[in-house]
Amino acid sequence: MSFSSLGLSAPILQALTERAYTAPTPIQSAAIPAILRGGDVWASAQTGSGKTAAFVLPIIERLVADGPRGRGRYVRALILAPTRELAAQIAGEIQDYSQHLSQDAALKVLVAVGGVSINPQMMALGGGADIIVATPGRLLDLIDHNAVSLSYVATLVLDEADRLFSLGFADELARIIALLPARRQNLLFSATFPPAVWKLAENLLVDPTRIEMPAASEADAPDIEQRAFEVDVPMRTQLLRNLIELNGWSRVLVFVATKYATEHVAEKLTRAGIPAASLHGEQSQGARTQALSDFKASRVRVLIATDVASRGIDIASLPVVVNYDLPRSPDDYTHRIGRTGRAGESGVAVSFISAETDAHFRLIEKRNRLSIVREQLPGLEPVETIVPAPVQTGGIKGKRKSKKDKLREAAGLPPTTPAPKAAKADDATTRPGTSEPTEYFSWSPRTPPPRRY
């Protein structure tokens, strides 16, 4: 199949040719015609399989076909993403794919994300926009400032939809949906749609085309070699250093559970002569953007990140992802390792397993139908054993240090803290060693929830 047979017009085809895309990926072949027809689409496809172009290309095509936008603070297409970096990435793709549109057809594309001053975004919204790519919180701020109206949104995209359905975004998403017109096209995309969100998706969508692109064959699956190393918790940075040096990995994305760990591990690696940067949701947006661009441009060899980098981010030629701390859920595992092995490239995903997290990793394997051989690096073989949970003999919970925290203290690690009720929007947090499912919110389809003032 060719892109031209999908109904895309010459300026878009020219941009695709310049990117040397010879043929659409399976998700693009399936989704582009369905979106062009105007109906709702619910699409799941593997990480790195070309989902962004699958919704961006037909949206551009339809907006151009519909003619220029009217005046006012209106927006015609709204794309929501869970992180600022992903929103910026999607907007960059739209600009690239629409660069050859004629001047009359040119689209106004804006990014609306938090962490930066709202004033330039408000100014840019003068006269509305064709497409806004936004994180939910900043979009609502702009609405509250009367800078934008959603009353004429014709197409809504939830990219990484299952994440946007999670409780961290619940209030914000409900408010946004309440402000949209009832008649609109809804597009949901993600690599994972856990059963907990099926009902939510069904409530949002009207008679959707359901597209599922699991690997039809081994050949279609992302080419990611998955490995697991057993190691004691205090030896993980040493193991990481040794693996980087032994394998000569040129670029490594390392996931950890906390902001503290991103900085701590990055500092240790840098001191050991391996340039590393940290990325987490409590940095300034300038620092976040800098860390990601330094990594993409190979100015640092290692990026130590929280799950803020686990969804959608496309880093060309990233050969290795490491789970220094295990992800919270089996789906998070899929998204994290999916930062490698993209667009037909191969990659390696390495997970560090300690006595404490062994059971959690087994659960991730089971849910993802994996069986990964355990390895040990000579010289760093683990000696820790699982410590049974202390028997509660009364006392007030939380007043005394737990045995686990005492062990962590002895290992020079910060104490574990109670899990937040829901991951904070725009910076997913993880709790290693747990298998708690993500919580999701609910609303009924066309009866919007009450607006909060």
Candidate ranges 49-57, 226-234, 327-335, 424-432; the one touching ligand AMP (CB under 6 A): 49-57
| Shortest CB 282 distance to ligand AMP, Å | 26
Measured CA distances, 217 to 220, 223, 379 (Å): 5, 12, 39
Applying CB under 6 A, among 336, 342, 360, 431 the residue interacting with ligand AMP is 342
How is residue 143 written in tokens?
């609405």
Nearest alpha carbon to residue 303 among 234, 426, 315: 315
Point out which span in 17-25, 125-133, 200-208, 318-326 binds ligand AMP (CB under 6 A). Answer: 17-25
Least separation, in Å, of the C-beta of 211 and ligand AMP? 14
Residue 239 burial (10 A CB sphere; 0-12, 13-18, 19+): buried
Q: Among 15, 25, 311, 425, which residue interacts with ligand AMP (rule: CB under 6 A)?
A: 25
Residue 251 found at the interface with ligand AMP (CB under 6 A): no
Minimum distance between the CB of residue 30 and ligand AMP, rounded to whole angstroms? 13
Give the nearer residue to ligand AMP in terms of CB position, either 213 or 353: 213
Strands 155-159 and 109-112: unpaired
* Cβ 119 to ligand AMP shortest distance, Å: 31
Q: Please report whether residue 24 would count as binding ligand AMP according to CB under 6 A.
A: yes
Query: CA-to-CA distance for 192 and 161, rounded, in angstroms?
Result: 9
307/162 Cα distance (integer angstroms): 15
Which lies closer to ligand AMP via its Cβ, residue 51 or residue 163?
Answer: 51
Asked if 58 touches ligand AMP (CB under 6 A), the answer is no
Task: Give the residue from 78, 208, 229 showing the smallest Cα distance to 139.
Answer: 78
State the minimum distance, in angstroms, from the CB of residue 343 to ligand AMP. Answer: 3
Tell me the closest approach of the beta carbon of residue 94 to ligand AMP, in angstroms.
12
Distance between CA atoms of 217 and 77, rounded to whole angstroms? 35
Sign of CA dihedral 14, 20, 23, 25: negative
Interaction of residue 50 with ligand AMP, rule CB under 6 A: yes
- Per CB under 6 A, 343 contacts ligand AMP: yes
Q: Is 441 in the site for ligand AMP (CB under 6 A)?
A: no
The answer to the question of residue 48 lying near ligand AMP (CB under 6 A) is: yes
Least CB distance from residue 6 to ligand AMP, whole Å?
Answer: 11
- Which residues, in sequence order, are CB contacts of 210 under 8 Å at separation 6+? 42, 43
Contact between residue 31 and residue 53 where contact means Cβ atoms under 8 Å apart: no
Of residues 32, 43, 53, 304, which one binds ligand AMP by CB under 6 A? 53
55, two tokens: 């919704």
Q: Where are the beta strands (DSSP E) in 31-106?
A: 41-45, 75-80
Report the C-alpha gap between 127 and 125 in whole angstroms: 6
53 vs 252 by CB, closer to ligand AMP: 53
Does residue 190 touch ligand AMP according to CB under 6 A? no
CA–CA dist 40, 208 (Å, integer): 5
Site size toward ligand AMP (CB under 6 A) is 13
The correct pick among 7, 21, 370, 405 for binding ligand AMP (CB under 6 A) is 21
List residues binding ligand AMP (CB under 6 A): 21, 24-25, 28, 48-53, 314, 342-343
